[in-house]
Amino acid sequence: MIPAKSSAAFVYQMEKVLEVYERPYNADFPVVCMDESPKQIIDYKQITASNGSKLQDSEYVRLGVAELFVAFEPLAGHREMTIEDDHTTTTWVNFMASQMDTQYKEAKKVTWVMDNFVTHKPENFYKVFPPAQAKAYLDRMDFVYTPKHGSWLNMAEIQFALVGRDALDKPFKSKKEVEAAVKIWEIAQNQLRKGANWQFTTEKARVKLKKLYPTI
């Protein structure tokens, strides 16, 4: 989705994201895309026929939602996926802090690309951690947000499309089943160092999305 008419706010945020994607790989200053997506957990009703055989009804029972969180580093070809119970502020902060404490423990500063979801705000670290700890995390993090109607600019969405196609294209009865399927896929992708060959640049945006740029 893109705006129906020109939008200085959209093109400003879009070009910020595209500028970040053009940076060369640097382990000290990695660019990481973060996103979250729900996976419905369902089961199908069982029917006992007159002869005693078990049949599966076409009607299913909703058993909740598993929340998939991903941190995807396109140039390194690495992704970390977790399965959470919800997508609250605390869950997001803890996910981000965990990434900074493990995968990016040695990085000097991490640039995070994500959408403008209400929980995705740096100030939320102060709601979860003591001030000194919150500031210590945030001093090592930069946040770049995709514009409204521009979530397609977040390369993390590609990961959800791929894991959905490769590993989650069937019903799951529990969060543990989802978690197991995702972990197998994640390990295989990381072993292959499957990154993203992003081709959409600022130069191309100014041509293909010219209508979005205000007329001067």
Percent of the chain with pLDDT over 90: 78
**pLDDT tens digits for range 153-188:** 999 999 999 999 999 988 888 899 999 999 999 999
User: Going edge to edge, which strands form the sheet with 141-145?
Assistant: 78-84, 54-73, 31-48, 110-114, 141-145
Do 57 and 46 form a contact (C-beta atoms < 8 A)? yes
The mean pLDDT of 9-28, rounded to a whole number, is 97
How does residue 3 score in pLDDT terms, banded at 50, 70 and 90? confident
pTM, two decimal places: 0.88
Query: How high is the pLDDT of residue 64?
Result: 82
Determine the Cα–Cα distance for residues 96 and 32; give it in Å rounded to an integer.
11
Q: Is the pLDDT score of 118 beyond 80?
A: yes
Q: 59 phi and psi, to 5 degrees? A: -85, 135
